[in-house]
Amino acid sequence: MSTLHLVALAPFIMAIFIPFFYFKFRHIHTGWFILPLPLILFIYLIQYLPLGGGPMETVERSVPWVPSLDIHFTVFLDGLSLLFALLITGIGTLVVLYSIYYIANKKEEPLNNFYVYLMMFMGAMLGVVLSDNLIVIYVFWELTSLASSLLIAYWFHKEKSRYGAQKSMLITVTGGFAMLAGFSLLYMMTGTFSIREIITYGDAIVTSPLFLPAMILILLGAFTKSAQFPFHIWLPDAMEAPTPVSAYLHSATMVKAGIYLVARFTPVFGGAPEWFWIITGFGLFTLLWGSVSAVRQKDLKGILAFSTVSQLGLIMSLLGLGSAAVHFDVVDGQSLYTVAVLAAVLHLINHATFKGSLFMVVGIIDHETGTRDIRKLGGLMTIMPVTFTISLIGIASMAGLPPFNGFLSKEMFFTGTLNSTTLDIFNVQTLGVIFPAVAWIASIFTFVYCMIMLFKTFTGKHHPERLEKEAHEAPAGMLISPVILASLVIIFGFFPNLLAYTIIDPAMQSILPGLLEPGEQFYVNIYHWHGLNTELFMTMGVVFFGSMIFLNLRKWQETTFYLKERDPLNWFYDSGLVGLIKGSTVVNDVQMTGRLRDYFTYMFTFLVLGMGYMLWNTGALAVDMANTADISIYMYIITLSLVLATVVIPFVSSRISAIVLMGVIGFLVALLFVVFRAPDLALTQLLVETVMVVLFLLVFYHLPELKKETFKPAFRLTNLVISIGVGLVVTLTALSAHALSYENPISPISDYFVENAYALAGGNNIVNVILVDFRGLDTLLEVLVLGIVGLAVVVLIKFKAKKGEDV
């Protein structure tokens, strides 16, 4: 196992020791023990940056996991995975530091749970971005959903926290299942789970009839995770999580997992018009929907939640637009169409810096004032000057104002949408004009909610009576992380080319491989002034119209649109959830009756219909009595005795007699095993039947007399039909298998165990060898289940309910 494998697994290893730190050192905040890990990982990953200016060298390390299924834990570090790994560990370090001061070290705060979930999430995200194998990616992908739900429900005593955790889990896990199906289709087309190998099968994938289903299923996974319309509804409710969680998961990491997936699969699907239109269309609509919805919010976290939805749509649309670059030549490392991918990578970084700092600022405001409601806030500029300064920097960047980094990527976004109008592929020339129009309108609303957030919180009259706490500036420790992120906003704004060939170009090389000659690099030169061009006039229009809307905000604050903060699409989720619960209740009431006879009815009916259909549909029904063996007199006697004992049971009115007859049937079955020369099975059957008969006799002797049950004729007829059907289907199946074995002779599976039982397992008793060695894991799990049941019984006996206590 390599060091890169340990990078992904280190947070999981740390999670094992967190309870020890928490309980052993209660006087020290657990976060201090966690903080060094993401910092060390971040410093370690920096060494892979191509600081010398040349192209980045990719790194691959592999460990076999399930080789027979082509599943290997292969870590592959290229420009794209390195970018995300640095975001995960870098922002993770700042979040852990921030959480130390945000979440107090109190007895009622289960800090061990918080940091276990946080490390679990960090490791899962690193696993997603570093893995090359699709199945391994899926495992880590679902772990991110699980860990994020646990973090959202950290304050599980709040109903909204539980609701938000459940919603995020249902939506993202459902998308994950769809993604797994898409991965399976890719495997069917290529015969490999390796992403790097799948990319080489480009032509075969495009011409396959499974291409479109695989693409749509994978995009469902990406869209649900990255909160694209209409799956975005889980993100605002996830804001019930502690602010460090929001700053980490919902601005810099988890919601970017879908972005990563789309970027990673662009080389596979990027040349298809469906890929271009679906990603660009949904991305732009999500951008517009999120920005308009953010304006209606009264909670600062709500504003940032819909802002995140909007910004994710922006990045997604840029990746969709940039996928068109595969159709055009790249000269000297640049093209009109690669600018969209450049803007996507740059904004990915910028968004993590300004949105992470803003989430932390909102946490500070909530922590120091007791509220996030903009209707109660105001006048905090002089009371919290440092917090105001950080907010001003972050909000200005989010609004796309110079000289901050958000202005640079926003201008490139405008450039990308304008360039799309010149495309002569995918019929873009007819609808492409919509792209810059939607981008411009969404940017206006982005400017509006940025102004609302800044002025409603920090300017105006201060109303201390509306606050739950006396407002004051946050402690220095809580300000360190947002100050660092705000500083990066400024640094990347003034010196954007620090990232040009260290991070941006390697990431672009991963998203658009094969466009350049070996050793070439994309032309990345980022600067503020491009002259009086269309993009600048669009920005001036955004500021003008956004300011007009903000200044006239009071005129439409009482409108239905503004008053309804909750996204209308939540109605579909809530109604669907209610319908699902009601439907499952109906099914449960029908199926789980508590009567054993009903369960047997369901199972045997399914058996008869399923096996009967397969026999008929596959043409496997065949009866050939020519090759049957001679039947000895013993078989006739045993079979007749079995039939008589079975037929008599329904007419017996005594429990004791019924138990004795059941025992007789069991012993007769043991005799069958003897005749068929299976002494091990016969001995097992005899022992089990003896024990069961004795136990039943001991227990039932003390029960009341058996009351004769009366059944309607329809009930008796149903039982008769099912019984005859089961006997007939099983008999026909056995006869067909016997007949077909002579028509199409194949080697039975038992031959393998006969030949290898002694050679591989060192035993001559084939049945025992199968149970202990060939089925060793299955047997071990069965023993584990029995052990768990035994422990549960011990617990139930030990902890008896007190008188009057609910059980």
Residue 238: is its pLDDT beyond 80?
yes
Residue 600: is its pLDDT beyond 70?
yes
pLDDT of residue 713: 66
Stretch 131-140: mean pLDDT: 95
pLDDT of residue 69: 84
**Is omega for the bond preceding 403 within 30 degrees of 0, making it cis?**
yes
DSSP states of 464-501 = GGGSSS---PPPHHHHHHHHHHHHHHHHHHH-GGGTII
pLDDT of residue 425: 79
Q: Is 428 exposed, middle or buried (0-12, 13-18, 19+ CB in 10 A)?
A: buried
**Element at 72 (helix H, strand E):** strand 71-77
| Tens of pLDDT, residues 138-193 | 999 999 999 999 999 998 888 999 999 999 999 999 999 999 999 999 999 999 99
- Contact at 8 Å (CB) between 59 and 77? yes
Q: Is residue 164 part of a domain?
A: no
Kindly state whether residues 502 and 614 are assigned to the same domain.
Answer: no
Residue 804: is its pLDDT beyond 80?
no
Plot region of 401 (φ>0 → left; ψ -120 to 50 → alpha; else → beta):
beta
Q: Is residue 534 part of a domain?
A: yes
| Cα radius of gyration rounded to whole Å, the chain | 33
Kindly state whether residues 658 and 547 are assigned to the same domain.
Answer: no
Identify the weakest region by mean pLDDT among 149-158, 509-518, 628-637, 705-714: 705-714
- Residues 202, 208: Cα–Cα separation, whole Å: 10
Q: Higher model confidence: residue 347 or residue 804? A: 347
416 token code pair: 């990308």
**Pairing state of beta strands 59-66 and 71-77?**
antiparallel
- Residues 21, 32: Cα–Cα separation, whole Å: 10
pLDDT of residue 714: 64
Q: Is residue 756 part of a domain?
A: yes
Kindly state whether residues 508 and 611 are assigned to the same domain.
Answer: no
- Contact at 8 Å (CB) between 302 and 356? no
User: What total of structural domains would you count in the chain?
Assistant: 2
Per the DSSP assignment, residues forming a β-bridge with 76 are: 60
**How does residue 494 score in pLDDT terms, banded at 50, 70 and 90?**
very high
- Residues 102, 109: Cα–Cα separation, whole Å: 12
- Residues 203, 190: Cα–Cα separation, whole Å: 11
Exposure string over 343-362, b if 16+ CB within 10 A, otherwise e:
bbbbbbbbbbbbbbbbbbbb
Kindly state whether residues 668 and 743 are assigned to the same domain.
Answer: yes
Q: Is residue 472 part of a domain?
A: yes
pLDDT of residue 383: 94
pLDDT of residue 712: 64
Kindly state whether residues 475 and 360 are assigned to the same domain.
Answer: yes
Residue 621: is its pLDDT beyond 90?
no
Alpha helices in 525-595 (DSSP H): 534-551, 560-563, 570-591
Kindly state whether residues 545 and 613 are assigned to the same domain.
Answer: no
Q: Is the dihedral of CA 124, 320, 83, 401 positive or negative?
A: negative
% of residues, the chain, pLDDT over 70 = 96
**How does residue 331 score in pLDDT terms, banded at 50, 70 and 90?**
low
Per the DSSP assignment, residues forming a β-bridge with 548 are: none
Q: Is residue 704 part of a domain?
A: yes
| Residues 6 or more apart in contact with residue 523 via CB below 8 angstroms | 332, 333, 334
Identify the weakest region by mean pLDDT among 481-495, 524-538, 602-616, 735-749: 735-749
270 token code pair: 């990027």
CA distances to 216, 258, 505, 641, 763 from 511, rounded to whole Å, are 19, 14, 10, 74, 55
Q: Higher model confidence: residue 16 or residue 520? A: 16
Domain span at residue 349?
270-557
Kindly state whether residues 377 and 454 are assigned to the same domain.
Answer: yes
Per the DSSP assignment, residues forming a β-bridge with 72 are: 64
Q: Higher model confidence: residue 714 or residue 448? A: 448
- Residues 362, 343: Cα–Cα separation, whole Å: 27
CA distances to 488, 563, 647, 721, 722 from 603, rounded to whole Å, are 63, 54, 22, 14, 10
Identify the weakest region by mean pLDDT among 300-309, 571-580, 673-682: 673-682
Q: Is 270 exposed, middle or buried (0-12, 13-18, 19+ CB in 10 A)?
A: buried
pTM: 0.84
**How does residue 807 score in pLDDT terms, banded at 50, 70 and 90?**
very low
- Contact at 8 Å (CB) between 384 and 479? no
Taking CA 348 as the corner, what is the angle to CA 481 and CA 336, rounded to the nearest 5 degrees?
150
Alpha helices in 296-404 (DSSP H): 300-322, 338-369, 385-399
DSSP states of 606-630 = HHHHHHHHHHHHTT------TTPPP
- Contact at 8 Å (CB) between 653 and 708? yes
- Residues 188, 210: Cα–Cα separation, whole Å: 9
Kindly state whether residues 512 and 641 are assigned to the same domain.
Answer: no
The alpha carbon of residue 680 and the mean position of all alpha carbons in its chain are separated, in whole angstroms, by: 47
Per the DSSP assignment, residues forming a β-bridge with 331 are: 334
Q: Residue 267's closest CA among 60, 80, 518?
A: 80
Q: Is residue 506 part of a domain?
A: yes
CA distances to 535, 726, 727, 741 from 612, rounded to whole Å, are 69, 10, 12, 19
Q: Is residue 459 part of a domain?
A: yes
Identify the weakest region by mean pLDDT among 395-399, 550-554, 736-740: 736-740
- Residues 254, 151: Cα–Cα separation, whole Å: 12
pLDDT of residue 335: 75
Identify the weakest region by mean pLDDT among 216-225, 245-254, 478-487: 245-254
Kindly state whether residues 668 and 737 are assigned to the same domain.
Answer: yes
CA distances to 494, 495, 504, 517, 546 from 498, rounded to whole Å, are 10, 6, 10, 24, 32
- Residues 301, 729: Cα–Cα separation, whole Å: 62
SS3 state of residue 677: coil
Kindly state whether residues 341 and 423 are assigned to the same domain.
Answer: yes
Which residues in 22-70 belong to E strands, given as ranges?
59-66
Q: Is 132 exposed, middle or buried (0-12, 13-18, 19+ CB in 10 A)?
A: buried
Q: Is residue 21 part of a domain?
A: no
Residue 334: is its pLDDT beyond 60?
yes
| Tens of pLDDT, residues 283-317 | 999 999 999 999 999 999 999 999 999 999 999 99
Average pLDDT of every residue of the chain: 89
Q: Torsions phi, psi of 71, nearest 5?
A: -110, 115
Kindly state whether residues 618 and 549 are assigned to the same domain.
Answer: no
Own/partner long-range contacts of 204-213 (Cβ < 8 Å, ≥24 apart): 205/268, 205/269, 206/271, 206/272, 210/185, 211/269, 211/272, 212/274, 213/182, 213/185
pLDDT of residue 711: 59
Q: Residue 127's closest CA among 176, 85, 181?
A: 85
Kindly state whether residues 689 and 755 are assigned to the same domain.
Answer: yes
- Residues 767, 680: Cα–Cα separation, whole Å: 8
